[in-house]
Structures are given as C-alpha cells and as structure tokens.
Amino acid sequence: MAKTLKEMEKAKEKANLVTIYLDGKEAKVPEGITILEACRMEGFHVPTLCYMEGLSSWGGCRICVVEVEGQPNLVASCVTPVREGMKIRLSSRAVREARKTNLELLLSNHPLDCQLCDRNGSCELQELAYEFGVREIRFGGERKTYAVDMSSPSVKRDANRCILCGRCVRTCREVQSVCAIDFANRGFDTFISPSLGLPLGESVCINCGQCILACPTGALSEVSHVEMVWDAIEDPGKFVVLQTAPAVRVSIGEPFGLPAGTVTTGKMVAAFRRLGFDRVFDTNFTADLTIIEEGHEFIGRVKKGGKLPLITSCSPGWIKFMEHFYPELMENVSTCKSPQQMFGAIAKTYYAQKMGIDPKDMVVVSIMPCTAKKFECQRDEMCASGYQDVDFSLTTREAARMLKEKGIRLEEMPEENFDDPLGISTGAAAVFGATGGVMEAALRSVYEISTGKTLEKLDFYQVRGLDGVKEASLEINGMEVNVAVAHGLGNARRLLDQVKAGNSKYHFIEIMACPGGCIGGGGQPIPTNLEIRMKRIAAIYEVDKNLPLRKSHENPAIKKLYEEFLGEPNGEKAHHLLHTHYMPRERI
Amino acid sequence: MEESLYREIEEIIEKYREEETPLLCVLQEVQEKFHYLPRNVLGYIAKKMNVPSSTVYGVATFYSFFETNPVGEYVIRVCKSTPCHVQGAFNVLQALKRELGLKEGETSKDGKFTLEVTSCLGVCGVAPAMMINDVTYGNLNDERVREILALYRR
Amino acid sequence: MFYRTHVLVEMTSSSVAFGAAQVKEALEREIERVGLKNEVKVLETGSFGASLPSPFVVIYPDNVIYAPLRVQDVRRVVEEHLLKGRVVRELMLAGGLEWKTSEFAFPFPLAKETRVVLRNSGFIDPLNIEDYIARDGYMALAKVLTEMTPQEVIEVIKRSNLLGRGGAGFPTGLKWEFTYKAEGQEKYVVCNADEGEPGTFKDRLILEGDPHSILEAMAIAGYAVGAREGYIYVRAEYPQSIRHLEEAIRQAGEYGFLGENILGSQFSFWVKIRKGAGAYVCGEETALLESIEGKRGEPRVKPPYPPQKGLWGKPTVINNVETLANIPPIILRGPEWFKSIGTPTCPGTKVFTLTGNVNNLGLIEVPMGITLRELIFEIGGGVRGGHGLKLVQTGGPSGGTMTPDLLDVPMTFDTLPKYNSALGSGALTVVDDTHCIVDVVKSFGEFFLHESCGKCTPCRIGNKRIVEILEKISEGKGTLDHLEELLHLGRNMKMTAFCGLGQAAPNPLLRCLEFFREEFETHVKEKVCPAGTCQLKSLQRTVR
C-alpha cells in the first residue's frame, strides 16, 4: 500500500535505516520503503501516473521509472524497494527519454482534444505532457474508440480518454469494496468495463464518484446537471431554490485558488445569489432536522426494543451499497431521508405554502460534494411533495464551473448570509461534512433530549479524524451507549459483517461512503487527497466552533417548523415527508 | 435461460467447492457445456461463487480460450506463430477461409464452424498446425484442410 | 500375462495428428485377425524424442522401427514381421540415422543424444505406473524420504548446479532453499507447464510420455521445501498431457506415492492440475500464480518473489517441467554425475525442439554446450530444400536471434547472452533465406501483440506501434525514420516493460534491425523485398 509522508516519517523512527544515493545525494531512509517514497521523503519529485496514495501499487504506466546503477533495465520507482547502497539516477537521459516515450505512447492512443475535456486544466496527463516538453507524437497509429457511457445517473465514462492506469479499478475495489469495474480484454484491446460488460448504470456501481477523484484524465466525470440548472435560472416562470451541503463551503474556494481548508460560507452565498438563484438556503438546516428525526428514531428504538444498531442513512452511496450487498441490514438503517431530500420535501411543501408558490413552479437545486446525490434525487421514492423533491444536484466542481462561466470570482465576493428560514443552522449540522459528524451531532441531541441534562463537553474527539473505524461510548440514563463510525465502504464492511453475524456491540453506527466523509466526496474539487481531506475537516470543525448554536434541537427555525407544520418528531406528517424505505438490489 | 441449465452450473460449482479460487476451472467446464459463456451465465457464476461479476468478466475476456460471444460447434484455431508461419501457415489460413467462406473471428451461418487464429499450439514438429476443439491437426496443406473439414461436415 | 513381443506406437499430439491412432487400431485389428492376440501386445508410448517421422512404431525386443508406418502397410508388417518373423526392410526407418545402445536399457537414442529428462519417454507406457516403477521410478522419492533431510536434498540440488529450464536459467537449488527458509506453515510447489513459447513443445512430450517423473519430482520438492500441496499448471492446448497427468495422479495415489504419509513416512503430499485458458503471459511465474488464483493472468510486482510470497500469498517454489524431470536422476545418481554432463557452468542436458525450415523436425535431448551447427546440420539434417540459413530463433520470440555467424557458439544459459541471445526454452526455429526479414520480424511482433497482457504501457501500445510500422514497411510505405522509430520503441520496451516477457519481446526486432539492416533499408529505400515473401513483393507484382 502506498504510504503517506506521515506514515513514512513514523516508519523512519522505528525501522532500520539504509543508505541510498539519490542523484548522488546520500540519504538515510527506512528499510522496506520504495524508491518513490524515499524520493518524496527527501524532497525529490518523481512524476507518476498509475501510482496513487492509499492504493496498492500497480507499476503499469512506467512513467516513474528511474535508473539503478548495476541494473540493466530501468525500474519503476513506485514498486521497487530501496536497498542498502543503492545508487539511483532520477533524471538521466535514459530516464527522461523513457518517460517521454511512454507518455507519447499513451498520448498516441488518446483523443488530444484537451479543450473539449472536463479535466482541461486538472488533467495529470496534460500536465506531464507539458512538463516533459512533448511537442509531437512520434508514434502515431490506430487509436481505440469507444462509445461514451452515459447510462449512470451520476458517473459518465469516456473510455476514449482512459490511459488504463487502473486507479479507478483499485479505488472501487480496495477503498470501496464495490468492484463495479475491472479490466476487460487484454493487450491493446484492454479497457475498463463495468460488471459483465454492461453499461455502468446497470452495474453495482454505487455512484460514489471516488473513481472520478482517482482518474488522472477525463475518462471519468460526473453526469452534468449544469445546463438544466441554467435553464431553470433563466426561466422567469420558475422559483429556483438552492441548498448547499455542509462540505461545500470548505472546498469550493479551491477551484478559485484559495488554499484547501478555507471557510468560504459567506462568499459562497454571495456568489450563488449573483448566479441568479431566487433563494440561497442551506442543507445544514435539514441536517439539523435529520438529527431531530433520527435522534428520536434512535431513542424510540432503544425504548421500544426496536432493531439495533441503528445505522445512519445520509450517504446515498452507502444506501445503494447496502441495498446491493447487505439487504439483510435494511431494517437497521434509519428510515430518515438524507438532508438533501428532507430539504426538497420541506421546500416544496412548508416553504412553498408559506410563500404561496405552487410547488410545480419551484425548482430545487442542490450543490453537493457528491455524485450519488444525483442518483438519490431521482429515486422514485423521493417525491413526497407530489413532485420530484430535489430537481437537480450539482457537484462542487460543477458549481464552481458555473460561477466561472458567469465570471463570478468567489474570492472577491463579500460575506453574505443565507436566506431565512431554511438557511438557519447549528454547529451540529456543520459537522455533517466530516466523518463522525453525524454521530457527534446526534449524540449532542440524543443525550440532552433523553436525559434533560446539559451536555458538558460537546466535542466528541473519539469519533473525529481519519481512522477507518472509530468508536465511542456514552452513558445515557444509566445505559452504556456504544457507537461506531466508518467511512469508506471497505472500512464499513468490518462493522457491517459484525452486525450481520449478530455480534455487534454497537447501538448506533454512522457510515459514510466516502473516505473522510462528505468533504472527501466524489463531487469535490480535484485533487482531493489525504492532506486536503485533513484540511477540509479542520475547516468543518472551525465552522462548528464559531457558531453560536451547536446543538440541532436548539435551532429556532427547526422548532418553528415543528410548531407550524410538522407537529411531533417522527409524527405522521414527518413520517410522510421525511422518511423513506429501501429495496434490495441484485448483486450483478 | 432454463432452470435446468442453472442447475447444471450449480453442480459444476459444487464440484469445486473444496478447491481454493477455482474460477478458471468453473469457467472452463461451463464453457464445455454451453460452448460459450453468455453474460447471464457469467453473472450467475459470479453470484454463486461470491466473486465480483466485474472480476468474472475480466477473467473471461482475458483468456483467449474463453468465448463470451456465441461460437460454432467446432472452433478452428489456426496457429500463426513463427514456426508455423515459416512453414506456410498463411496458406493454410487462406485455404480455411476459402473453404469455410469465413474471415478470422467469424462463425458460419449454420453455427458449425468458428475460425480463429491463435498463438503456438506446441506441435511445431508438424507445422503448420491447427486445433479443432481439442483435437490437433498437423502437416497441413490445402488438401489436408479439405480432408479434415470433410470429417466435420458430415 | 506374458507377451513375446511388444509393439510400441508413439502416441503424442503430433503423432495423432499424423494418424497414429488409426495405425494403432489397424495393428490391433490385424494382430487379432492373425491370431497373435495372446502373444503380441500393442502399447501406446510417449514421444521417442528425436526428429522422427510419424507414425512411429517399434517392435520390441526386436528393436525394429517402422516409420512412417501408414495404415495401408500395417497388414504387411503384421503378416510378415510378427507372424513370419521377416523384417519388412522397405518400411523400416531410413535416412542415415545412426542408432546405438545407450546407457539406458532401451537401445534407441540418436547419436549425440544423452537422455536424462527423456529417459523414459517412448520406453514406457505412460499410463502404467508399473512401467515407471520398473525403471527406478519413485526410487528417488523413497531415497529422499528414508535417507535424507530436506536440507540434504536442497544441498544435493544446489551442488548439481541445475539451472531452471523454463528459460531464465535460475539455479533451482537456490529457489528451493529460499522457499525452505521462508517463514510459514503452508507452502506450495507449482509446476509450470504453461509452455507457450512458439516453437517449444518439450514439456508436452515429457508430460505425455513420462508424467510420473514430474509427480515424483514435485513430491521431492515438496519434501525439501516443506510443502504439502503441489499444482501443475498446464496450458489448455495440451489436452493429452492433462489426461496423462490425471491418470498418473490417480495411480500414484493408489500406490501410495502421493497422499497421506507417503511410503510410511511423516510426509504427505498431494498434486492437483490447473488448466490454463490460452494466455502466453501465464508462463511468467507470477502471472501463472494469478491465474491459479482465478484472476487475469497479469504479472505481479516483484519483489516479493514467489519463494517469499507466492500462491495465495504463501511461500511457493515454481519449477518448469524439464527442470523437475532432472530431479529424480540427480537424487539417485548424485550431483557429480549430473555435472559430468554438459559444461562446467551449465551442466546437464537440454531438450531442444527443432522447428521451422529444417529437414528433421522434432525434439532431441543433448548435453548443454552443443552448437547450433551440430543441432541444425547434423541432427536436423540441414535446412529444408537445400536453402541457405537466414536465422535461427532460439528460445522462441522472447529468446534470441542467432544469425549464421553464430553457428559455433556453445548453447548454454551463460554463453548466449554474450551474443545478445538467450537459450530460453530450447526452441529452435530455423528460417531459411527464402523468407523476408520484415515478414519474419512482423510475425514475432504479431505474436506479442496478441499475447501482451496490456498491463504496462511500453508493451501494450509499443507492440501495436511496432507491428503497424512493420506493416507500413511491407506495404512499401516505410521510411528511414520508421527504422529509427522501431529501434526506439524496441529499446524502450526492453528498458521499461513491467515483466521479463515484455523486456524480452523486442529482442528479435533489435537483433534483426542490426544484422539485416540492409534488407530493411532496401524495403524502405527501394520499396523492394529481396526475398519476395512480404506484401511488398506481391504488391510489386500486381503493379507490374
């Protein structure tokens, strides 16, 4: 497994050191690491394509080759371990020539129409071609052509742009344990294929979009809703309402050159208002609502001896994963809709009534760090208002592109506030964006609602951070409540298999499909890597800390919503609008 | 697909229950039964063996002896590796194409023959050679090709 | 039952292709007709191992060979030879082959031939374990289990300096030692019988003719490294090998040479067969492991090497068929005996397969160090049709290209690399001078294009581009720049391909570009094919 710098530093403390020479410079590095890892530790840059942090090493692209003295062939630095006394040349003529040749070979089977590509500007192949000074492709010949696969509601596959690095395949297998795609055929005819050669939309793909983040080129991207949103904005007969997810405010600055982890809530609101939305609301509002509904569901299950552990339902990638791979756990999963869908249902009923708008003239657009949200909003069940509750779901990337298209510079925007009342939220909602956040928010409310006491320490550090599985326990009314959190579905399997086997000690489990939670979602700006994930998470907790209210049940707008409209939490109306059901799916 | 076919597949999988990672064995035996590996069969194998169907598809399309599209009753594989090539494999292929009215990769309309080229069959001592299903024929020339095909046309 | 005479019919995939089965049927029919059924027994045997005509029939103990024996001549042989005792001279094997008695019991090997690996091939009924036992079969296993420790076995193999016969020539004893020393309770022995290198079929003939020798060797390897299970990975193109192995495994189990507590010892060992499915790359040992594991046959990252982390992540020793066939004789006769054959640095014998434009096609086992001249002109009977020799491809397309100037180089693992060639699997594909070099090189290229697994860039796309350029040249659209591009692509593949196969793939291209530069240049400059066998020539003809 490719290691992070931090892990390597840790390894350095423990392991035996070996002496190697990088372009003549002596370096002492831990035994057992690869040449590439050694280079990164020592501050040497080695270009890569098929290598990706957090995935197993593949060694197929042959871009990261280096020369090792005494060895007749060049070696791939990403898979070659260091040895005592190794003398490594990182940029000899042979190395540069080989890298360039292999890159040219990849380009000779590539469309070369960068201007027409989603990834123009963020493409690793394009960047390497620039860095290596490729000015012509010496080896022309047949180029493989494939039909673009638009069958999925979330992920668009353009195999013409694929360079067969396998990062998507490894992500889907190793991180998500979904295995929706794999290599098919062999040799020059090799391509990446969904299950059984079917279109992606008919496969077990859970729409999480992690493959898009992994893709170095434009072979994978989201199915775009941009044009539909422009149409809605420009249609004077439509009242277009926007909701922005908790994780978007800490990442949308990146495409505008702001450092990762910059909180841009106010600027973001201003920018989208200028884009032409009639109202700019906040998904955080319904995140608070989710906590009330889900919290009461949990309390109810504990009291009435209902199915436990209760498992969260905010992540639509996780939901589809459950339907394919763990249908037997369907009753464990909370019936609560995700905040995006609760928002749509409330907007087109409560808010529409309040404003006297016919819901058929209302268009609800969401900006999500997520590609699975595109699928979620199109699910048949998601029409509680009588119309499709959320009409369009944009990724953070699409939203940034729309702003740029209109010439709006996010970084220059003034700070503005969300519209009322669906823009009011607490810190508990803010932390939804990071892994562990839903659990933390739920614990804050469940404790206070159940015990009637005030929680002294609001910060549940045990459930924060990037460990794959985290756990905590809390005494509530004399009962030891055990909770667990997993992000990345490969990690989630560890908890789910226990539940399936009937030996889970947990009462409440949070699962997010994407590593890091929503801040690492498949709709987030590229690159999204470990370092950037950590910065976004830090920003999420900064938002929480700075808000006056940090518990969902203290949100005044939510209280008002129940008083004016919903009645009781988990009541009949709430059940109709805010809860859903699931269906088992084939594991093809 | 008929219920009985699924049962047959299940029996094959059952046979290898004790083996570790027997995917290739299962695919081989299922292909012997059905001549090729249709998509729904691959999907069924994946499900029954608890292997991702993308993996099963990747394996079935990697190896040249697995057919994911319908093939004829007799699959003719003509070797075109160098030892056969320098002994006239090209002419043998031409003769087969002429006799069968097929191009490489095609199957005859009556579903009897599929013509494919392959890498070395390991009978270079009798080059040029071909394989029809699992029987090998060597020392081929126009006349022998005609004779051999006659055996299968009956 | 005692038979006065045995009629041995060589029954290999290639003999069957020649109609050996029909000849055997006819023999049985005729023998029954003349009433000799209780005196004469017809037996199928594996390969007789030389470059022999087929169908090949031996009357034993008379030591008379009829070859090629056609169905219509069977009646005469039965009536004349078997019934009346009169040898039918005109049907006997002719052609100036010299026969002599070898150190082995059966007097057939050709001159220059030394049989270690093929010691039983052709002399025993491969489907009868008692035949094998009668020729000291399973004696080595018995010796190992009763008299030797695993370390002693490894020591013997190390001292013999047996080099892996699959192509790479890595010392077998070291492989065993690494696997023995690797930590882990479960270990495996894998026999690589995925013989895919064009021009090679030695492993097939060993498996068809003497399957027990491989089972015995695998059990010995299992004892030495501490494995209880062995897998033989046989390519799908060898159905007869698979049938013989299955039967041999069954019989060995019955006789207690495989299974629980072999020969009453504490050692237990089982062998299973896994069948390939048509992928040359699975001859690469880690790709082979992937294939057994039910995956696409793509090579793995090395290190870790199989002795550390092999099949299902467990320490695994992988040996080629021919390598294993050497093991029992080395155990029985000792490393010094083995080293007395061949050259000091590369001892033992090598099985060569003669293919292509040579008069006698077939295989022969000779001491290491023999020259190509001896192999092609003495044993092979020279180039077909009296033509000149253009080149000999050794070890298949991934081996080396030997041009006529290298005919006297001793054929060993250590000498050939000095000439940018390789012994490889022992395949010898003779190409005569009526062939166009562009056409021949293109045929190598097409092989790799068809067989590249597609994992790494230089091989996946590089082979495609190489074949495309060669096509252009043979269509008369070539330029001098194309020759430079070929060189560049070939060198790049050699330098940067992921696995050994990819690195070796451009060898013939690079060597031919150098040696036959002129012929290539004639193609691109004058748009003429001197040999007249590539498309260019036929194009020229139609133009005229």
CB contact under 8 A, B123 and C13: yes
User: Shortest Cα distance from A189 to chain C (angstroms)?
Assistant: 8
- The answer to whether B20 faces chain C, any CB pair under 8 Å, is yes
Which band of pLDDT confidence, cut at 50, 70 and 90, is reported for residue C99?
A: very low
Q: Which of C108, C109, C74 is nearest to C91 (CA)?
A: C74
Q: Considering A50, A78, A205, A314, which one is annotated as catalytic? A: A314
* pLDDT beyond 80 at C4: no
Q: Would you list the domain boundaries of chain A?
A: 5-91, 107-222, 227-578
Which of helix, strand or coil describes residue A149? Answer: strand
pLDDT value of position C538 = 60
Q: Are C478 and C469 in contact (CB under 8 A)?
A: yes
d(CA A287, CA A291): 6
Arithmetic mean of pLDDT, A326-334: 97
pLDDT value of position C50 = 53
| Whole-Å CA distances, A278 to A273, A281, C244 | 7, 10, 80
- The answer to whether A373 is a known catalytic residue is yes
- In terms of CATH architecture, what is C341-432? Roll (3.10)
Which band of pLDDT confidence, cut at 50, 70 and 90, is reported for residue A1?
A: low
Q: Are C537 and C430 in contact (CB under 8 A)?
A: no
Average pLDDT of chain B, as a whole number: 92
Contacts with C460 from chain A: Cβ below 8 Å: 164, 187-188, 190
Residue-by-residue DSSP string for A257-302: TPPTT---HHHHHHHHHHHT-SEEEEHHHHHHHHHHHHHHHHHHHH
Q: Are B35 and B100 members of one domain? A: no
Q: Give the helix/strand (H/E) hosting A542.
A: helix A530-546
Which band of pLDDT confidence, cut at 50, 70 and 90, is reported for residue B24?
A: very high
CATH code, domain carrying B115: 3.40.30.10
CB contact under 8 A, B124 and C204: no
Q: Which of C418, C455, C463, C472 to mutate to test the interface with A (most CBs of A within 10 A)?
A: C455
Q: Considering A294, A323, A440, A448, which one is annotated as catalytic? A: A294
CB contact under 8 A, A183 and C465: no
* pLDDT beyond 80 at C406: yes
**pLDDT tens digits along C106-157:** 333 455 778 899 888 877 888 899 999 999 999 999 999 999 999 999 999 9
The tokens for C75 are 């009646």
Q: Which of C197, C201, C205, C354 to mutate to test the interface with B (most CBs of B within 10 A)?
A: C201
Q: Partners for C (CB, 8 Å, 3+ pairs)?
A: A, B
Which member of B55, B64, B126 has the closest CB to residue C18?
B126
* pLDDT beyond 50 at C269: yes
pLDDT value of position C106 = 32
Which range, C29-38, C73-82, C242-251, has the best average confidence (pLDDT)? Answer: C242-251
Q: Which of C323, C306, C232 is nearest to C269 (CA)?
A: C232
- The answer to whether C535 faces chain A, any CB pair under 8 Å, is no
Q: Quick check: is B67 in a domain?
A: no
Angular region, C279: left φ>0, alpha ψ -120 to 50, beta rest = beta
**Which residues of C2-132 form beta strands (DSSP E)?**
5-10, 40-45, 57-60, 64-66
Which band of pLDDT confidence, cut at 50, 70 and 90, is reported for residue A449?
A: very high
Range 179-238 of A in CB contact (< 8 A) with C:
183, 185-190
- The answer to whether A123 is a known catalytic residue is no
d(CA C367, CA C382): 20
Arithmetic mean of pLDDT, C238-250: 93
Contacts with A182 from chain B: Cβ below 8 Å: 52, 54-55, 57-58
Which amino acid is it at A8?
Answer: M
Arithmetic mean of pLDDT, A108-128: 95
DSSP letter at C410 equals B
d(CA C527, CA B120): 31
| Whole-Å CA distances, B27 to A218, B63, C60, C258 | 35, 11, 44, 28
Question: CB under 8 Å to C490, separation ≥6 — which residues?
Answer: C466, C506, C509, C510, C513
d(CA A333, CA A490): 18
For residue C364, report the phi and psi dihedrals to the nearest 5 degrees: -150, 145
d(CA A182, CA C134): 52
Which band of pLDDT confidence, cut at 50, 70 and 90, is reported for residue C98?
A: very low
pLDDT value of position C167 = 85
d(CA A140, CA B30): 41
The tokens for C9 are 């019919």
CB contact under 8 A, B87 and C200: no
CB contact under 8 A, A195 and B62: no
Q: Partners for A (CB, 8 Å, 3+ pairs)?
A: B, C
Query: Domain C129-337: which topology?
Result: Rossmann fold (3.40.50)
Counting residues of chain A whose pLDDT is more than 90, the rounded percentage is: 96
**Which residues of chain B form beta strands (DSSP E)?**
74-79, 113-118, 130-132, 135-137
Arithmetic mean of pLDDT, C196-222: 94
Residue with tokens 């939670």: A517
pLDDT value of position C11 = 85
- The answer to whether C455 faces chain A, any CB pair under 8 Å, is yes
d(CA A581, CA A572): 15
Q: Are A206 and A315 in contact (CB under 8 A)?
A: no
pLDDT value of position C101 = 25
Q: Are C269 and C259 in contact (CB under 8 A)?
A: yes
Which band of pLDDT confidence, cut at 50, 70 and 90, is reported for residue A392?
A: very high
Angular region, A133: left φ>0, alpha ψ -120 to 50, beta rest = left
- The answer to whether A293 is a known catalytic residue is no
Length of chain A: 588
d(CA C440, CA C520): 12
| Whole-Å CA distances, C236 to B58, B123, B126, C279 | 19, 13, 19, 9
Range 14-73 of A in CB contact (< 8 A) with C:
57-63, 65, 73
Largest CA distance in chain C: 79
- The answer to whether C93 faces chain A, any CB pair under 8 Å, is no
Q: Are B55 and B99 members of one domain? A: no
CB contact under 8 A, C440 and B137: no
Q: Would you list the domain boundaries of chain C?
A: 5-95, 129-337, 341-432, 437-543
Count of CB atoms situated within 10 Å of the CB of A285: 28
pLDDT value of position C310 = 98
d(CA C194, CA A464): 52
Arithmetic mean of pLDDT, A561-569: 97
Contacts with A60 from chain C: Cβ below 8 Å: 455-457, 498
- The answer to whether C451 faces chain B, any CB pair under 8 Å, is yes
Range 186-215 of A in CB contact (< 8 A) with B:
186, 193-198, 203-204
**pLDDT tens digits along C62-91:** 677 888 888 889 998 998 888 877 778 778
pLDDT value of position C103 = 25
CA atoms in the 13 A half-sphere facing the CB of C531: 23
Arithmetic mean of pLDDT, C405-421: 92
Buried b (16+ CB within 10 A) or exposed e, C163-198: bbbbbbbeebbebbbbbbebebeebbbbbbbbbbbb
Which band of pLDDT confidence, cut at 50, 70 and 90, is reported for residue C3?
A: confident
CB contact under 8 A, C485 and A139: yes
**pLDDT tens digits along C327-373:** 999 999 999 999 999 999 999 999 999 999 998 888 889 999 999 99
Q: Are B41 and B82 members of one domain? A: no
d(CA C345, CA C368): 10
Q: What is the ipTM score, two decimals? A: 0.94
The tokens for B18 are 């004790």
pLDDT value of position A573 = 97
Q: Which of B117, A498, B134 is nearest to C13 (CA)?
A: B134
Give, in words, the CATH class of A5-91: alpha beta
Contacts with A106 from chain C: Cβ below 8 Å: 457, 461
- Just give the CATH number of C5-95: 3.40.30.10
Q: Are B81 and B143 members of one domain? A: yes
- The answer to whether A334 is a known catalytic residue is yes
The tokens for A335 are 């019936």
d(CA A183, CA A195): 10
- The answer to whether A559 is a known catalytic residue is no
Closest chain C CA to residue B31: C277
pLDDT value of position C60 = 75
Residue with tokens 């344990």: A177
pLDDT value of position C541 = 52
Arithmetic mean of pLDDT, A443-448: 97
Which member of C201, C354, C450 has the closest CB to residue B122?
C201
d(CA A404, CA A255): 9
Closest chain C CA to residue A166: C455
Average pLDDT of chain C, as a whole number: 89
Does domain C437-543 fall into CATH 1.20.1440.230? yes
Q: Are A153 and A380 in contact (CB under 8 A)?
A: no
Sheet architecture: strand order including B74-79: B113-118, B74-79, B130-132, B135-137
Q: Helix-strand-coil percent breakdown of chain A, rounded to 5?
A: 45, 15, 45
CB contact under 8 A, A188 and C494: no
For the ranges A238-242, B135-139, B142-146, which has the lowest average pLDDT?
B135-139
Arithmetic mean of pLDDT, C35-57: 78
pLDDT value of position A587 = 81
For the ranges A132-146, A518-532, C2-16, C98-112, which has the lowest average pLDDT?
C98-112
Query: Does the CA dihedral C367-C373-C374-C376 come out positive or negative?
Result: positive
pLDDT value of position A12 = 64
Q: Considering A195, A315, A334, A338, which one is annotated as catalytic? A: A334
- Just give the CATH number of A227-578: 3.40.50.1780
Q: Are C25 and C32 in contact (CB under 8 A)?
A: no
The tokens for C504 are 């070796």
CB contact under 8 A, A139 and C465: yes
d(CA A49, CA A543): 35
Which of helix, strand or coil describes residue A333? Answer: strand
pLDDT value of position C107 = 33
Arithmetic mean of pLDDT, A419-428: 96
Which of helix, strand or coil describes residue A67? Answer: strand
- The answer to whether A2 faces chain C, any CB pair under 8 Å, is no
Contacts with C396 from chain B: Cβ below 8 Å: 120
Q: Quick check: is B69 in a domain?
A: no
* pLDDT beyond 90 at C184: yes
Give, in words, the CATH class of A107-222: alpha beta
d(CA C511, CA C287): 27
- The answer to whether A104 is a known catalytic residue is no
Q: Which of C364, B88, C242, C462 is nearest to A101 (CA)?
A: C462
Range of B34's domain? 3-62
Which of helix, strand or coil describes residue C544? Answer: coil
User: Shortest Cα distance from B27 to chain A (angstroms)?
Assistant: 14
The tokens for C227 are 């494995």
- The answer to whether A202 is a known catalytic residue is no
**pLDDT tens digits along B63-81:** 999 999 999 999 999 999 9
CB contact under 8 A, B62 and A587: no
Arithmetic mean of pLDDT, A518-544: 97
| Whole-Å CA distances, A225 to A490, A494, C55 | 29, 35, 72
- The answer to whether A297 is a known catalytic residue is yes
pLDDT value of position C56 = 86
Whole-prediction pTM: 0.91
Residue with tokens 């990403």: A78
For residue A122, report the phi and psi dihedrals to the nearest 5 degrees: -125, 25
**Which residues of A496-551 form beta strands (DSSP E)?**
508-512
d(CA C267, CA C225): 12
Instruction: Spell out the SS3 assignment of A313-372.
Output: CCCHHHHHHHHHHCHHHHHHECCECCHHHHHHHHHHHHHHHHHCCCHHHEEEEEEECCCH
Contacts with B147 from chain C: Cβ below 8 Å: none
Q: Are C341 and C402 in contact (CB under 8 A)?
A: no
Number of domains comprising chain B: 2
User: Shortest Cα distance from B45 to chain C (angstroms)?
Assistant: 13
Which member of A183, A198, A204 has the closest CB to residue B58?
A183
pLDDT value of position A499 = 97
Q: Considering A100, A373, A374, A551, which one is annotated as catalytic? A: A373
Buried b (16+ CB within 10 A) or exposed e, A316-344: bbbbbbbbbbbeebbebbbbbbbbbbbbb
Pairing of strands C427-432, C389-394: antiparallel
